[in-house]
Structure 1
Amino acid sequence: MNLLFEGQTCYLRSLAVEDAEEMVQLLLRNREYWSVYEPRHRDSYFSASVQREKIRESIYQARENREYSVGIFEHNTNKLIGHISVYSVKRMPFLSALIGYSIDKVYVGKGIATEAVNLMTVFGFEQLRLHRVEAYVSPDNVGSIRVLEKTGFRQEGLLKSFLYINGEWKDHFYYSVIEEEF
């Protein structure tokens, strides 16, 4: 399933194996920036061969209706500036999935993440027929909290010692939006 969603500030499209090198460049540019809120990766992760394999896996996961990962691209340049996924898709009786995203540090604060989250949430509700979309976010990640709240997500609770990042267990807020409220 090749996905393409047009927005005002960006567009989202399924990644192809040919995007692996550009993905490596995005990851390298943001290696330190993203490591504050995400687990660190081994050096091999930042190679075209590993990224090609991850893209192949995401294509397979989409075919199996488990996960939909797409690149976030800048309109003017067609440059890859982030990625976003709807993953852990659960069918009845849940009809839910998680959403996760990362934006190139140069493009933060420009409304791109908000638009990307909105586009993928619409996809979740309208195409995947989900009832609920959920997200985890670090209490320190004020920008990401703002993105979720601007797109209609509400905080439901705090998950204690939830994710192991940079040698310590970190708490995360649990956010969700329900179909009727979106």
Structure 2
Amino acid sequence: MIRLEGNRLCLRTFVESDAKSLAELMRNNKYFWATHEPLHEEEFYTEEAQFKKILESIHLLRANREYSFGIYPKGSNKLIGHISLYAIKRLPYNSAFIGYSVDEKFTRKGIATEAVNLVVQFAFSTVKLNRIEAYVSPKNNGSIKVLENANFIREGLLRELLYINGVWEDHYIYSLLRDEYRHK
């Protein structure tokens, strides 16, 4: 298990016993998150499906291909979001993507920004990446603000990148390079 400590948050990689709380987080935010990502089949929101996802993430972690963290308030076991460093590619790329979601009740409190900064620090110092990328919907002002607060740079617009709930959606691509990173 990997733990990252922030000022207000603790991030830790998921373990099998997190399946119930992860399924509950997914169910509670199903429609809130569906404004910017696809709705899933009902089975996705079950403890069994999340258990399988956690097993897969543990396998990918052991292969240094993905790090999936739960987001918790410091000193609490209450899961309030998740964040992943995923699709890790080694040289000649040495890059990865970052993605995150926070429980609707905890948005607009700087939680995603703190979590992104913790994972960025981990990505550059421990995983030794050179570049971190993120896709974000032009309609997702909250997530755009999170990335820009973490010093990510908007590189361009990817047209009709993702098929979300019956519609092809454009997404911005943002990136942060190791040389641009400023430890906070």
User: For the superposition of Structure 1 and Structure 2, which TM-score range results when normalised by the shorter chain?
Assistant: over 0.9
5+ long unaligned stretches in structure 2: none
Pair 1:153-2:132 in alignment: no
5+ long unaligned stretches in structure 1: none
Structure 1 runs, 4 residues or longer, greater than 3 Å off: none
Residue 43 of structure 2 aligns with an amino acid whose one-letter code is S
Residues 75-94 of structure 1 deviation map (CA, whole Å, 9 limit, x = unaligned): 25320000000001010011
Residues 48-103 of structure 1 deviation map (CA, whole Å, 9 limit, x = unaligned): 11111100100000111111101001125320000000001010011100000000
Distance 1:88 1:19 in 2: 22
Matches within 5 A, 1:27-106: 27-106=26-105
Partner of 2:25: 26
Matches within 5 A, 1:118-137: 118-137=117-136
What is the Cα deviation at residue 40 of structure 1?
Answer: 1.1
Partner of 1:112: 111
Distance 2:19 2:81 in 1: 13
Check the 8 A contact 1:9/1:111 in 2, yes or no: no
What is the Cα deviation at residue 17 of structure 1?
Answer: 0.7
Residues 112-161 of structure 1 deviation map (CA, whole Å, 9 limit, x = unaligned): 10000000011110111100000000000000000000001000000000
Residues 145-179 of structure 1 deviation map (CA, whole Å, 9 limit, x = unaligned): 00000001000000000000010000000000000
Partner of 1:168: 167
| 3-state SS in 1 of match to 2:80 | strand
Residue 91 of structure 1 aligns with an amino acid whose one-letter code is R
Aligned length: 181
What is the Cα deviation at residue 39 of structure 1?
Answer: 1.1
Distance 2:128 2:111 in 1: 24
TM-score (norm 2): 0.97
Residue 3 of structure 2 aligns with an amino acid whose one-letter code is L
Cα RMSD (Å) of the superposition? 0.7
Check the 8 A contact 1:114/1:148 in 2, yes or no: yes
What is the Cα deviation at residue 14 of structure 1?
Answer: 0.9
| 3-state SS in 2 of match to 1:120 | helix
TM-score (norm 1): 0.98
User: What fraction of aligned residue pairs are identical, expressed as a percent?
Assistant: 49
